Amino acid sequence: MINDKKVLYSGMQATGTLTLGNYLGALKNWVSISDEYECFYGVMDLHSLTIRQEPANFRKNARNLYALYVAAGLDPEKNCLYYQSHVSAHAELGWILDCFTYMGELNRMTQFKDKAAKHADNINAGLYTYPVLMAADILLYQADLVPVGVDQKQHLEICRDIAERFNNLYGEVFTIPEAYIPEAGAKIMSLQEPERKMSKSDENENATVRLLDDTDTVIRKFKRAVTDSGNEVRFSEDKPGVSNLMTIYGCVTGKTMEEIEKEFDGKGYGDFKLAVGECVADELRPLQERYYALLEDKTYIEKCIKENDEKAQYFANKTLRKVQKKVGLTERIR
Ligand code: ATP
Ligand code: LTN
């Protein structure tokens, strides 16, 4: 608890411009629950290094991600929005927790298997221990709740296992976090291959809708989205393309699948795709306006980064010192 509020922790990697999947599966929900919790949101730049990054582009992505958090509605004066790499406690606790994690556990991680297959020329140790650093992120802030998309569920489970193992050995050091996975939007699929999740590092630009795509681009991408045979707007397993578009439409408008089926009864895929494109473009427009205004105000963003880095360091170091003492590392002489 901080200020009598439960603690919420989440973050995203700075691996490219956010997609509609990141927004509907995570960011939009963060905004809607942020008032009820003491919130920490990291720009997960250390995690991003598990995939090779071009330095100048990486730095730009990390700054853009920070500005997108704010533009989406996270107030940096109420929420602690900070850079993971500015708080060295993450790497330090990550190392300690590596020593409390078994290779057998890490071998089961499906994200590692997916990323290793995708980047066969760079299967590095960081990619392998990625979930341990993520556990350190969460446990440093004694988080109660971690809102993520469904692809992160397994990482939350290993985080809980590591925390419980540690607590069994040393007493109640860590709060055991709960995952918060939204009912709708937890897995938005690619517009071109609806059996794969929409991913910000996808190289096929038509597969993803980016939060900074302009209206024409958004509508064009939806028009080109892969649909299924037939022409009926119906939510079902054998219609992955249409069902994905319905999920997106439902998340943005708040309509249920039955309402959407009714609304497009007797109309073809063309009308439906246009309606989805328009509602998404309308949702993104105000966010984009705030985003471009913010980028102009460098002094404001830098002030927020500095203050929040310090706040994050304060809470993270508190937990780190406790852990160091528990495992028997020699205390600092003051
Ligand atoms: P990358 O392509 O670099 O792996 P990503 O698009 O998968 O990136 P992450 O940074 O790994 O994005 O994830 C940020 C947050 O967005 C996480 O909470 C994740 O669960 C959520 N998320 C990512 N993709 C989707 C998606 N397609 N649908 C719903 N939520 C998603
Ligand atoms: N692995 C997460 C990003 C991430 C994260 C975290 C999310 C790193 N550390 C801690 C929640 C809590 C992802 O979305 N790919």
**CATH number of the CATH domain containing 271:** 1.10.240.10
Report if residue 185 sits inside a domain.
Answer: no
Higher pLDDT, 12 or 149: 12
Q: Is 197 marked active-site?
A: yes
Residues 302 and 288 in one domain: no
The alpha carbon torsion through 216, 219, 222, 223 (nearest 10 deg) reads: -100
**Tokens 């221990």 appear where?**
129
307 has a pLDDT exceeding 90: yes
Residues 225 and 310 in one domain: no
pLDDT at 231: 87
Ligand 1 probe mutation, 199, 201, 243, 244, most atoms within 8 A of CB: 199
Contact 135, 98 (CB under 8 A): no
Q: pLDDT digit string (tens) for 135-156?
A: 999 999 999 999 998 899 999 9
pLDDT at 161: 98
Residues 322 and 274 in one domain: no
- In this structure, what token pair is assigned to residue 98? 């590596």
Report if residue 333 sits inside a domain.
Answer: no
pLDDT at 312: 98
pLDDT at 186: 82
Q: What is the DSSP letter of 37?
A: S
Residues 270 and 317 in one domain: no
Q: pLDDT digit string (tens) for 233-246?
A: 999 999 999 999 99
Is ligand 1 within 6 A of the CB of residue 131?
no
Find the catalytic residue in 200, 221, 239, 273.
200
Report if residue 189 sits inside a domain.
Answer: no
Q: What is the mean pLDDT of residues 254-271?
A: 94
Report if residue 193 sits inside a domain.
Answer: no
303 has a pLDDT exceeding 90: yes
Domain span at residue 145?
7-180+298-327
pLDDT band, very low/low/confident/very high, at 79 (cuts 50, 70, 90)? very high
Q: How far apart are CA 195 and CA 215, in angstroms?
A: 26
Contact 10, 134 (CB under 8 A): no
pLDDT at 332: 87
* E-strand stretches of the chain: 7-13, 38-44, 80-83, 145-147, 178-180
Instruction: Using the mean position of ligand 1's atoms as its centre, give its distance from the Cα of residue 268 in Å.
Output: 31
pLDDT at 201: 82
- In this structure, what token pair is assigned to residue 11? 């973050």
Residues 214 and 82 in one domain: no
Contact 194, 241 (CB under 8 A): yes
Contact 11, 137 (CB under 8 A): yes
The distance of Cα 153 from the centroid of its chain, to the nearest Å, equals: 12
Is ligand 2 within 6 A of the CB of residue 9?
yes
Say what percent of the chain tops pLDDT 90.
90
pLDDT at 65: 96
Q: How many domains does the chain have?
A: 2
Residues 99 and 161 in one domain: yes
Q: In what order do the strands lie in the sheet with 145-147?
A: 80-83, 38-44, 7-13, 145-147, 178-180
Nearest CA to ligand 1 atom 26: 21
Report if residue 92 sits inside a domain.
Answer: yes
Exposed (0-12), middle (13-18) or buried (19+): which is 206, by Cβ within 10 Å? middle
Residues 175 and 307 in one domain: yes
Q: pLDDT digit string (tens) for 188-231?
A: 999 999 999 999 888 899 999 999 999 999 999 999 999 988 88
Residues 226 and 83 in one domain: no
Q: Is 6 marked active-site?
A: no
Report if residue 196 sits inside a domain.
Answer: no
Report if residue 246 sits inside a domain.
Answer: yes
Q: CA 194 → CA 18, 187, 189, 228, 244, distances in Å?
A: 18, 11, 5, 10, 7
CATH of the domain at 44: 3.40.50.620
Report if residue 334 sits inside a domain.
Answer: no
pLDDT at 226: 94
Average model confidence (pLDDT) across the chain: 95
Instruction: Using the mean position of ligand 2's atoms as its centre, give its distance from the Cα of residue 147 in Å.
Output: 9
334 has a pLDDT exceeding 90: no
39 has a pLDDT exceeding 90: yes
DSSP string, 106-141: HTT-HHHHHHHHHTTT---HHHHHHHHHHHHHHHHT
Say what percent of the chain tops pLDDT 70.
100
Residues 162 and 215 in one domain: no
Residues 54 and 127 in one domain: yes
Residues 64 and 130 in one domain: yes
pLDDT at 182: 84
Residues 151 and 278 in one domain: no
